[in-house]
Amino acid sequence: MSQEQLQQLKTRALDEIKKVSDQNQLQNLEIKYLGRKGELTKILRTVGELPEAERGKMGDLANQVKQVLASEIGRVKKSLSEKGAGAVEENEWIDVTASKVKDGFGHLNPVSKIQYELEDIFSSMGFMVLDGPELESEYYNFEALNIPSWHPAREMQDTFYVEGDGLLMRTHTSPMQVRTMEKYGAPLRAIVPGRCFRNEATDARHEHTFYQLEGFMVDKNISMANLKAVLEVVAKKLYGPETHLRLRPKYYPFVEPGVNGEVTCFLCKGKGCRLCKNIGWLEIFGAGLIHPNVLKAGGINPEKWSGFAFGFGLTRLAMLKYGIDDIRLFCSGDIRFLNQF
Ligand code: PHE
């Protein structure tokens, strides 16, 4: 062993000690160098065998290295145990003058707010909350829903068709009616909030991407009275106890009879104002009793079971509730818009 090799051993040992991250590793190093059979101990033992000329120098140096390593191990041992007790290490520091990071609160999109509110109301009445595919098949979006081939929604101008295998971007959340019936059978209660797409020329009232909330219930002897009772509870929870609900006939191929649901304008309480265009009523959903053909498509026997279905325009509800006059703001990604809610 030369003096040079001893120096190298010292450098290597110090380097290893520096990289230690727990007491265990440190103890292993202590054994490796300073233990009874440790590298340095072995060297010290052989110093006596060296020629006299070298003995003194090597002995001094080896002892010196031993001291340096022992004191370094001692220092790291102390620092590790303090760290374990939650203390700050010598060379770590906290800048107490640094300015505080500004608290930034995220904002829910107004559509999400209405959606969560409706999810709470419907789950309290025993409805499941489900998700459905946005990329749909022509079958579930149209055929299974009794939508005849001449229906305008089938036109290229209204629907985004996707190349291959009869796929399209769903034009409404109604395709989930049949999907859910197939999966769960009767009886059944579920709502499906979600994004829908129509090939619209966009303006303040039309957008190619918007949100609906579908709902349906299948059970024994379900009638229009059940539909009205459930949706009246929802309308009162959403707009206040003095709210009334009226149903007016409207054609949808997948319900029979079909209706438009309107609530008394929450702004003027039915007297007539700018929001309701002086009518006193606001149209907020389409609904009806599920057509027997749709029940059949879902594998449910229409002789035994009946059901109602409805579809809220979530985006429309948010526009009405918050007085938003341009639909394009919802997906604009403009933080100044979102910050208001
Ligand atoms: N899917 C219809 C629409 O997009 C709404 C609706 C749903 C009507 C369920 C009746 C029953 O306009």
Q: What is the CATH number of the domain that holds 196?
A: 3.30.930.10
Residue 100 falls inside a structural domain: no
When mean pLDDT is compared over 147-161, 247-261, 319-333, the highest value belongs to 247-261
Residue 177, phi then psi, degrees to nearest 5: -60, -55
Q: Are residues 218 and 259 in the same domain?
A: yes
Q: Which atom of ligand 1 is found nearest the CA of 212?
A: 4
Is pTM beyond 0.75? Reply is no
pLDDT digits (tens, 9 = 90+) for 113-149: 999 999 999 999 999 999 999 999 999 999 999 998 8
Q: Are residues 15 and 160 in the same domain?
A: no
Based on the structure, what is the number of domains in the chain? 2
Using pLDDT thresholds of 50, 70 and 90, give the confidence band for residue 167: very high
Rounded Cα gap, residues 149 and 147, in angstroms: 7
Q: Which atom of ligand 1 is found nearest the CA of 259?
A: 10
Q: Are residues 147 and 250 in the same domain?
A: yes
Q: How far is the CA of 244 from the centre of ligand 1 (A)?
A: 21
Tell me which DSSP letter residue 2 carries: -
Using pLDDT thresholds of 50, 70 and 90, give the confidence band for residue 85: low
Which amino acid, residue 34?
A: L
Q: Which atom of ligand 1 is found nearest the CA of 173?
A: 1
Q: Are residues 251 and 203 in the same domain?
A: yes
Q: How far is the CA of 198 from the centre of ligand 1 (A)?
A: 14
Tell me which DSSP letter residue 1 carries: -
Determine if ligand 1 sits within 6 Å of the CB of residue 141: no
Residue 91 falls inside a structural domain: no
Find out whether 65 and 9 touch, Cβ atoms under 8 Å: yes
pLDDT digits (tens, 9 = 90+) for 277-302: 899 999 999 999 999 999 999 999 99
Q: Are residues 73 and 127 in the same domain?
A: no
